Amino acid sequence: MRMNVGDIAPDFELPASDDSTVRLSSFKGTKNVVLCFYPKNHLFMCPSKKVFKMAQSVIKAYPEILNADSVLFAISVDTVDDQKKFIQEYRIPYLHLSDTSKEVCKQYAGLNIAGLARRTTFIIDKNGVIRKIFTNIDVEKHGQEIAKSLAEIS
């Protein structure tokens, strides 16, 4: 089942890179939520550079994202330990969520041929409604695209 703009975002609970557990519904009524699904932290091919470039792009726009009354999470099938290492290595200020069962990735972004999440970003408003879905992501501009979309829904 594919998600569409206007759908209510299905609730989920996933372990985070800071050892907490993040439940989507806990932000309802208080924050917009940005979910950035991506394949994996360290791939032995060029996509790992894409992951890093996208992280840099999002980090640059992160203050604007926070100012738009929003939270942002990156989600992949990596383990919590892998997420922790990745965050430390690249000094990433936002939490990464671990979906080792692939259930949330499958439900939201869908999986690629290798069984990893497709690179997809969802912007969910304070009412839990999906307002924007990015699929063809320009990793170098993505942070600004997210900030712009959040400004439009605020």
Percent of the chain with pLDDT over 90: 77
Active site residue 36: no
Asked if 35 and 73 touch (Cβ cutoff 8 Å), the reply is yes
In the three-class reduction of DSSP (H, G, I as helix; E, B as strand; rest coil), residue 62 is classed as helix
Asked if 14 and 97 touch (Cβ cutoff 8 Å), the reply is yes
92 vs 53, residue with greater confidence = 92
Please determine, for residue 43, whether its predicted confidence score (pLDDT) is greater than 90. Answer: no
Separation CA 116–CA 11 (nearest Å): 20
For residue range 63-74, list pLDDT tens digits in order.
999 999 999 999
- Beta strands 70-76 and 32-37: pairing type? parallel
For residue range 129-139, list pLDDT tens digits in order.
999 999 989 98
Please determine, for residue 29, whether its predicted confidence score (pLDDT) is greater than 90. Answer: yes
Separation CA 4–CA 22 (nearest Å): 23
pLDDT band at 46; cut points 50, 70, 90: very low
Q: Does domain 30-153 have CATH number 3.90.1310.10?
A: no
Radius of gyration of the chain (CA): 14
Asked if 105 and 76 touch (Cβ cutoff 8 Å), the reply is yes
Residue carrying structure tokens 């091919």: 45
User: Which entry of 1, 45, 46, 113 is annotated as an active-site residue?
Assistant: 46
